[in-house]
Structure 1
Amino acid sequence: MTPHYPLELVAEALPAQVGTFRRALRRWLADALGPDDEAADLGDDLILAASEALENVVDHAYEGVTPGSMTLTARVDGTEVTVVVTDAGHWREPDTGPTTRGRGIALMESLAEARVDRGEPGTVVTLRRGTAATAQG
């Protein structure tokens, strides 16, 4: 795989920005990974996982305060794609009672190698996936 420029997006953590980031990531992944079906499937998985992380920033990181920033970065290193979503907000523990919510981290983990680092302030979600070249190597 040829080297590819990294992607970096920064915006206020507002619902409309999730779609903007998602579309930019889709275009970047198509350019970075190519047009074949395996690359498209990988891209779809990473876009869904990143979208979930971004939605969590919008819904939870700045709850009760003025929304701060959220950042999405993406890069290809050899045969691995890494997408990182960060915020400077506060972690909110998931509800422990019955709810229809709270499945976001499990979803991200089913789509990519997902790591969630919580800090004060801020959360960093790192998503990694090998490319098709990894499986062939």
Structure 2
Amino acid sequence: MTPHVPLQLSADAGPPRVGAFRRALRRWLGDALEARQAEVGASPDLSDDLADLADDLVLATSEALENVVDHAFAGVAEPGRMSLQAYLADDVVTIVVADDGHWRAPTSGPTSRGRGITLMQNLTDAEVDHGPGGTTVTMRKPLPQPAHDRPIAQA
């Protein structure tokens, strides 16, 4: 399989960039998944499984980007940089959100916040790495098997 052209974005970490990155990712996912459909000889229209996968990836990525804006540069006069990379290879979509800010540990007391990492992990295979140079969230999601490739369910 030929990998789709990766998406690579970088900008100052600010609220308007989250929406712009999210829309760019949604367009890229649509293009990449439609190209994958065509490559395997399927209809170019996205199946419900692929549309749901795209929705999950956009939601998880949006949460990672919001975390950058809300937490990575808290207490500094000017925000740093955030980046988004996405690629599709070997039937796995991988999305990487990174910043050059500082990790802020989740609060331990009662709060209405703090569910972002759990959400990302529920929607994808998400790994969070943080260090002195910033935080990187890597999210992976395999494409669903086509219906004709799925094992027959046992009753």
**What is the SS of the residue equivalent to 2:86?**
strand
2:119 aligned to 90, 98, 107, which one? Answer: 107
**What is the SS of the residue equivalent to 2:51?**
helix
State how far apart, in whole Å, the 2-side matches of 1:120 and 1:134 are. Answer: 42
- Give the corresponding residue for 1:41: 52
Report how many aligned residue pairs link the two structures: 137
Q: Over residues 88-116 of structure 1, what are the superposed CA-to-partner deviations in whole Å (9 max), with x where a residue is unaligned? A: 00000111111000000000000000000
Tell me if structure 2 keeps the 8 A contact 1:79–1:133. no
- Give the corresponding residue for 1:131: 143
Aligned sequence identity (%)? 60
Structure number with greater Rg is 2
Which amino acid is the alignment partner of residue 24 of structure 2? A
Tell me if structure 2 keeps the 8 A contact 1:7–1:74. yes
State how far apart, in whole Å, the 2-side matches of 1:6 and 1:134 are. Answer: 23
Q: Classify 1:87/1:79 alpha carbon distance in 2 versus 1 (closer, same or farther; 3 Å).
A: same
**What is the SS of the residue equivalent to 2:140?**
strand
Unaligned runs of 5+ residues in structure 1 are none
**What is the SS of the residue equivalent to 1:132?**
coil
Structure 1 residue 134: Cα displacement = 7.9
- Give the corresponding residue for 1:63: 74
* Deviant stretches of 4+, over 3 Å: 133-137
Q: Classify 1:123/1:88 alpha carbon distance in 2 versus 1 (closer, same or farther; 3 Å).
A: same
Q: Over residues 56-90 of structure 1, what are the superposed CA-to-partner deviations in whole Å (9 max), with x where a residue is unaligned? A: 00000011111011000000111100000000000
Give TM-score scaled by structure 2 length: 0.84
State how far apart, in whole Å, the 1-side matches of 2:18 and 2:117 are. Answer: 17
**What is the SS of the residue equivalent to 2:132?**
coil
Structure 1 residue 17: Cα displacement = 0.5
Structure 1 residue 132: Cα displacement = 1.9
- Give the corresponding residue for 2:16: 16
